[in-house]
Amino acid sequence: MFIHWFNNLSNRSLVITILICISLIYVSYTFNSCLITSLGRTFNRNPLKQFFISTSLWPQTSEEANANATTAAFNNSTTNFTSSYNITKNSVQQQQLLRDEIHKKLSPSHIASNGSVSSSSSSSLPHILDGSPKYRLLRQQGSRPSRHLPDTLIIGVKKSGTRALLEFIRLHPDVRAAGCEVHFFDRHYQKGLHWYRHHMPYTIEGQITMEKTPSYFVTKEVPQRVHHMNANTKLLVVVRDPVTRAISDYTQAASKKTDMKRFEDLAFVNGSYAVVDTNWGPVKIGVYARYLEKWLHYFPLSQLLFISGERLIMDPAYEIGRVQDFLGLKRVVTEKHFYFNATKGFPCLFKSEARSTPHCLGKTKGRNHPHIETAAIERLRDFYRPFNNKFYEMTGINFAWP
């Protein structure tokens, strides 16, 4: 029937019919193309596409893959920068740990004598300073390690607990101290401040440089010399009962000299307990008020902190807390860092700057004292009593020594 109808059509009608069919096909194709494009755009903005991509169900062109990689890298970089910034701004503990890491990894050979990283060795430092974003961030902030003159001095008193104080306060990540007694102000002053600075540890911004030499307290030239270096220097003084201190001083000397005379023979004149030998070093040092007067000529009392040697042994966390407050430090070192060794009768450390395992300060700490006659001890207490009372008045602290 269709063929019969087609044969009956005139040529004109045939042409019209063909054109109508072509038009219908074109309109249908255009409509479908627009519909597909619109659906594609809607799907691109839909989170489902990311799901399909992440599960490898959506094919990606090379351009899309490159664009996605670039976007991910930018997002990761932004996240890393934000994280580093937040660590620097808000996390004091992270900064303190970072400072410790720098000091563990840096050696003096990496750093020039003026405190900066030398050009000759800078090529060997990428694994230290450029190994992670943390070190790059510190370097961008100008936090390269360098040597500085001390901000704080432990000036005395000998055999009162100065070594214990130094080791305890060095647990704080913001305190760096010279390991040995430098004796600059009493023995090596003529060598100059450049020599002194060279003996200080490397520090970064925000850390305190500290040095301990107990003989500074009793050397008459030292107060003026320290004031000349820095009038704002903070001074730490550990004191203990002068009688006990004198016996401890004698015990240390006797351990190095086997033929040393008895304590009683050295502390008194002519073998009688009537006259105390004030020229003998262990006795002379215990007259604290005499030496403090010289220091107060150059420094206000507010720049000196007096630490009880007895309490430093019995309650180290308390005294170290006072020291941290005095130095303007956060109280990081607490009772959790200490344990008491009943055998030595001395506090020991669960960890320290040099060692991460529990240990005591050394064999010389907590050394047993020789027997001293009671009459000699009582005579020395009578001798020191007026000087002790004057010292209490000068410091505003009653140490309650016998």
Does the annotation list 366 as a binding residue?
A: yes
- Any bridge partners for residue 237, and if so which? 156, 306
Q: What is the dihedral of CA 102, 103, 109, 114, to 10 degrees?
A: 90
- Closest listed residue to residue 353, CA positions, set 92, 178, 110, 154: 178
Q: Is 365 annotated to bind ligand? A: yes
In three-state secondary structure terms, 378 is helix
Q: List CB contacts of 246: < 8 A, sequence separation 6 or more.
A: 267, 282, 283, 285, 286, 380
On whether 248 is known to bind a ligand per the annotation, the reply is: yes
* 159 marked as binding residue: yes
Instruction: Report which of 323, 358, 362 is spatially closest to residue 337, judged by C-alpha positions.
Output: 358
Residue 251 DSSP SS3 = helix
Candidate list 159, 212, 220, 261, residue with the active-site label: 159
Residues near 222 by Cβ (< 8 Å), separated by ≥ 6? 155, 185, 186, 216
Provide the sign of the torsion angle of the four alpha carbons 28, 34, 36, 42, taken in this order.
negative
- For the packed helices 374-395 and 288-296, what is the interaxial angle rounded to 10 degrees? 20
Consecutive H or E run containing 288: helix 288-296
Cα separation, 115 vs 27, in Å, equals: 81
Residue 258, SS3? coil
Beta-carbon count within 10 A of 121 CB: 13
Residue 208 contacts residue 327 (beta carbons within 8 Å):
yes
Asked about 159 being catalytic, the answer comes back as yes
Task: For residue 367, say whether it is annotated as part of any ligand binding site.
Answer: yes
Residue 88 CA to residue 82 CA, distance in Å, equals: 10
State yes or no: 261 annotated in a binding site: no
Q: By C-alpha distance, which of 122, 98, 100 is closest to 110? A: 122
To the question of whether residue 197 is assigned a binding role by annotation, the answer is no
163 labeled part of a ligand binding site: yes
Q: Which of 213, 168, 201 is nearest to 100 (CA)?
A: 201
Residues 324, 260: Cα–Cα separation, whole Å: 40
Collapsing DSSP to helix, strand or coil, 150 comes out as coil
Binding residues for 3'-phosphoadenylyl sulfate: 159-163, 240, 248, 365-369
Q: Which residues are annotated as a binding site?
A: 159-163, 240, 248, 365-369
Active-site residue set? 159
